[in-house]
Structure 1
Amino acid sequence: MQVSSLNEVKIYSLSCGKSLPEWLSDRKKRALQKKDVDVRRRIELIQDFEMPTVCTTIKVSKDGQYILATGTYKPRVRCYDTYQLSLKFERCLDSEVVTFEILSDDYSKIVFLHNDRYIEFHSQSGFYYKTRIPKFGRDFSYHYPSCDLYFVGASSEVYRLNLEQGRYLNPLQTDAAENNVCDINSVHGLFATGTIEGRVECWDPRTRNRVGLLDCALNSVTADSEINSLPTISALKFNGALTMAVGTTTGQGKIFTSLEPEHDLNDVCLYPNSGMLLTANETPKMGIYYIPFSKPVLSSSLNQSLPPAFL
């Protein structure tokens, strides 16, 4: 375990350290622990919390019992049970996953967005159905009241797939050339999408009309800013009914604290009400970090800080 600190905020890396091969005997493991300090100080919260090569995305189920992660190679999804602290199941996929969403409280309803434009639905027993969107997707959100999936990507249109009717509906036409990320407010259902021009467009799903436009790129650039390109929206997340956090590719925003892992990050997931961060990295091992007082601070600081992104 390693401890780092920034802005007087301590961060504990719980997954740092050497792991012991499973084929070693108990006697050799004990001997290795006596000789190697890094092995003796290691913490293994979840067994086999890794991918064969790279982990791309990671999420926690709404009930908090399951952690799902996707990776390569071969493309796959792994589900971990936090009650048993071990791998529950693994499924191989046909192509790499861009992102995914857990529609149920547990792992029984999952939607995967693949890099070949396919959308794949999985039930508790396994693969259920797949379809395709017209353009390459980058992110999607689920609107529970209407059973609509909203897909954004390399297009000015936001594609809508209704899961109750099983068909595509008329898309939303944005003013952007392309859209990077999106989110739906769980309180009042407002849909927001972040564009490559650095704007956030907000839409009302009930009327399918745009109700607001925020130029975050223009507001984030000041006389003291040192940037080489126009800030585009790279992360977007609602917090309650009236608060929204926006992240840009150039990193404007007041920093609460930061992580500097040895390998590049692909995705970050916050385990609810725990202060624990799960990271998907460009390495087989997934990261686990703990910030002791992040529960009250992170939730209240979303106003001012920028995060790193079927029935």
Structure 2
Amino acid sequence: MQVSSLNEVKIYSLSAGRSLPEWLSDRKKRALQKRDVDIQRRIELLQDFDMPTVSTKLKVSRDGQYVMAAGTYKPRVRCFDTYQLSMKFERCLDSEVITFDILSDDYSKIVFLLCDRYVEFHSQHGRYYRTRIPKFGRDFSYHYPSCDLYFVGASSEVYRLNLEQGRYLNSLQTDASENHVCDINSAHGLFATGTVEGKVECWDPRTRNRVGVLDCALSSTTANKEIEGLPSISALKFDGALNMAVGTSTGQVLFYDLRSSNPLIVKDHQYGLPIRSIQFQNSLDLVISADSRIIKLWNKDTGKIFTSMEPEHEINDVCIYPNSGMLFTANEAPKMNIYYIPGSLFEKYQSIIQ
């Protein structure tokens, strides 16, 4: 375990330290633990929380019991049980996972979007069904009231797959040449998609009409910043009924009130790298944004930095365990990182901003 501090905030890296090779016998493992100080100090919060080479995506089930991770090589998904603190199962796939989502409260209903245009549906026993989308996909969202899956990718169309009827419905025609990311607001069902031209288009799933367009590329530029190309949308996340955060390919995070076309705050990561993940710590009004190099926690009202983390390897995804100060990262390395910020520090920060 390693402890770092920034802005008087202690961050505990629970996955730091050496790990024991799987091919060692139990006798050799016990011998190493007796004489190696680094191995004695290591903490295995989740046993075997790693991938053979690279981890790409992480999700936590809604009941909080399971953490699922996708990685390579070979393409696979691993499920970890937080009650037993160990791996529950592992499944290998035919292609690499671009993204996935857990539709049920536990791990019994999972949807995988693969890099070969296939969409796989998994149940508890394994793969249940697979189908193909017309163009290569990059992201998808599930609309629970209508049982529709919305797929965006290398096309101007947003494909709709209805899971109740088991067929494709009429797609949504956007003005973009390609769409990178999408999200659905759980409060009122608004569907938003981020385009390669740096715009966010919002649609009403009930009428299938576009209700608004945000030009995020124009809002992310400042007078003293050099622009080499048009920034595209690389991350998108709703926060409650009225707020939304948008990440750009040039490293800015724009926080919007949906009632205004101008962002409330523009936060620059200063590295010029695409924003890969945006999460929210709603109890403290914190935004957790990450590019491939750094994770920043900052206040969404003032933009003031709470703390930041720079892992040793490139970041692919960030996942927060709900109602805790713990977060997981998928990296360009076999080991997935686990960070913990004690709850007392969050309470101290809340008293400061109030």
TM-score (norm 2): 0.79
State how many pairs are aligned.
298
Residues 195 and 9 of structure 1: CA distance in aligned 2, closer, same or farther (over 3 Å): farther
Secondary structure of 1:224 counterpart: coil
Amino acid in structure 2 at the alignment position of 1:285: K
Residues 5 and 92 of structure 1: CA distance in aligned 2, closer, same or farther (over 3 Å): same
RMSD: 2.1
**Which one of 323, 331, 340 corresponds to residue 290 of structure 1?**
340
Identity percentage of aligned residues: 79
Q: What is the rounded CA distance, in whole Å, between the counterparts of 1:283 and 1:83 in structure 2?
A: 26
Amino acid in structure 1 at the alignment position of 2:160: R
Residues 25 and 125 of structure 1: CA distance in aligned 2, closer, same or farther (over 3 Å): closer
Q: What is the rounded CA distance, in whole Å, between the counterparts of 1:120 and 1:87 in structure 2?
A: 22
Q: How does 1:132-143 map to 2 (within 5 A)?
A: 132-143=132-143
1:92 partnered with 2:92: yes
* Contiguous gaps of at least 5 residues in structure 1: 300-311
Residues 246 and 50 of structure 1: CA distance in aligned 2, closer, same or farther (over 3 Å): same
Secondary structure of 2:140 counterpart: strand
Q: What is the rounded CA distance, in whole Å, between the counterparts of 2:4 and 2:229 in structure 1?
A: 31
How big is each residue's C-alpha offset from its partner over 1:152-181, in whole Å with a ceiling of 9 and x where there is no partner? 011111000000111101111111111111
Residues 295 and 132 of structure 1: CA distance in aligned 2, closer, same or farther (over 3 Å): farther
How big is each residue's C-alpha offset from its partner over 1:182-225, in whole Å with a ceiling of 9 and x where there is no partner? 00011100001111111111100000011111111111111132
Q: What is the rounded CA distance, in whole Å, between the counterparts of 2:325 and 2:227 in structure 1?
A: 32
Aligned to 1:306: none
Residues 213 and 229 of structure 1: CA distance in aligned 2, closer, same or farther (over 3 Å): same
Q: What is the rounded CA distance, in whole Å, between the counterparts of 1:201 and 1:298 in structure 2?
A: 35
Amino acid in structure 2 at the alignment position of 1:14: L
Residues 49 and 205 of structure 1: CA distance in aligned 2, closer, same or farther (over 3 Å): same
Report the Cα offset of residue 37 of structure 1.
3.3
Amino acid in structure 1 at the alignment position of 2:322: P
Amino acid in structure 1 at the alignment position of 2:320: L
* Aligned partners of 1:76 and 1:92 also within 8 Å: yes
Q: How does 1:21-100 map to 2 (within 5 A)?
A: 21-22=21-22, 23-25=24-26, 29=29, 32-33=32-33, 35-100=35-100
Secondary structure of 1:38 counterpart: helix
Aligned to 2:274: none
* Contiguous gaps of at least 5 residues in structure 2: 253-266, 269-295, 299-306
Secondary structure of 1:161 counterpart: strand
Aligned to 1:259: 309
Q: How does 1:152-231 map to 2 (within 5 A)?
A: 152-231=152-231
**Which one of 272, 284, 297 corresponds to residue 322 of structure 2?**
272
Secondary structure of 1:158 counterpart: strand
Secondary structure of 1:272 counterpart: coil
Residues 60 and 297 of structure 1: CA distance in aligned 2, closer, same or farther (over 3 Å): farther
Secondary structure of 1:258 counterpart: strand
Report the Cα offset of residue 30 of structure 1.
5.4
* Aligned partners of 1:274 and 1:295 also within 8 Å: no
TM-score (norm 1): 0.90
Residues 60 and 73 of structure 1: CA distance in aligned 2, closer, same or farther (over 3 Å): same
Amino acid in structure 2 at the alignment position of 1:276: M
1:113 partnered with 2:163: no
Report the Cα offset of residue 34 of structure 1.
5.2
Report the Cα offset of residue 226 of structure 1.
4.1
Report the Cα offset of residue 4 of structure 1.
2.6
Secondary structure of 1:217 counterpart: helix
Amino acid in structure 1 at the alignment position of 2:205: P
Residues 9 and 218 of structure 1: CA distance in aligned 2, closer, same or farther (over 3 Å): farther
Q: What is the rounded CA distance, in whole Å, between the counterparts of 1:298 and 1:58 in structure 2?
A: 27
Secondary structure of 2:229 counterpart: coil
* Aligned partners of 1:199 and 1:215 also within 8 Å: yes
Residues 14 and 161 of structure 1: CA distance in aligned 2, closer, same or farther (over 3 Å): same
Secondary structure of 1:180 counterpart: strand
Residues 296 and 62 of structure 1: CA distance in aligned 2, closer, same or farther (over 3 Å): farther
Amino acid in structure 2 at the alignment position of 1:262: E
Amino acid in structure 2 at the alignment position of 1:168: Y
Q: How does 1:137-152 map to 2 (within 5 A)?
A: 137-152=137-152
